[in-house]
Amino acid sequence: MGRVTWAAVILTGGTGARLDGTDKASLTHAGRPLLEIALAAVADAAEVVVVGTEATTSRPVAFTRETPSYGGPLAGIAAGVAALGGDHDLVVVLAVDMPRVTRRTTARLLAAVGDGDAAWLVDATGRRQLAGAVRPGLVPRPGEANGVPVRALMGAGRSTDVPAVGDEATDVDTWPDVARLDRTRPGRGDEHTPDTHRGPP
């Protein structure tokens, strides 16, 4: 079998309702925006699509939005996969509000797919999180994804659960979550490059 190629779709376009409408991607931890932490986690991707508002980034990425906006995570994933410029064996899906996911996490997810269709990070209760690796063909087309729960994708095909290590499954939904994140140290294995770019490559 040849080398597996993979791309990444980062979801940043939620409403942030429990954060008073704050753009999660712009929240910072240890001096770095959450979007930069997410980009570091997928640093080895052949290409990256960010679904959300354009921002300055440390690597060239493409930006897109689901139509209509705020159609839910699955609509965002569908829009991101549709915006990819190349053919890839797998797509890593990552919500920007999961700053404990690192390159090591991503590598485990990719390896866990094997000859199956997907692998998803699960928390201590076994709940699947918005951090996974999927076959592109498993993702519905954008017009078929609006308003459909993301669990429809998580339950599709032959999926493997990947237990979170430590606090990998931590997400940031509320101001208390932000405060707790600020009191902890950054994850390891999330190095990034300092060059900045804005908008598509």
If you write DSSP's letter for every residue of the chain in order, what string do you get? --PPPEEEEEE-----GGGTT--GGG-EETTEEHHHHHHHHTTT-S-EEEESS--EESS--EEE--SSTT--HHHHHHHHHHT--S--SEEEEEETT-TT--HHHHHHHHHHHTTSSEEEEE-TT--EEEEEEE-GGGSPPGGGTTT--THHHHTSSSEEEEEPPTTTT----SHHHHHHHHTSPPPSS-------EES--
Highest mean pLDDT among 15-24, 33-42, 61-70: 33-42
Q: pLDDT tier at 131 (50, 70, 90 boundaries)? A: very high
Q: Which CATH number fits domain 6-184: 3.60.15.10, 3.20.20.80, 3.40.50.2300, 3.90.550.10?
A: 3.90.550.10
pLDDT tens column, 39-97: 999 999 999 999 998 988 988 999 999 988 778 899 999 999 999 999 999 999 999 99
Q: Are 71 and 3 in contact (CB under 8 A)?
A: no
Q: Are 181 and 172 in contact (CB under 8 A)?
A: yes
Residue 189 scores a pLDDT above 60: no
Above 60 in pLDDT, residue 150?
yes
Enumerate the domain spans of the chain: 6-184
Flag whether the pTM goes above 0.85. no
* Mean confidence (pLDDT) of the chain: 83
For residue 15, pLDDT beyond 70: no
Residue 76 in contact with residue 148, Cβ under 8 Å? no
Sign of CA dihedral 131, 136, 140, 141: positive
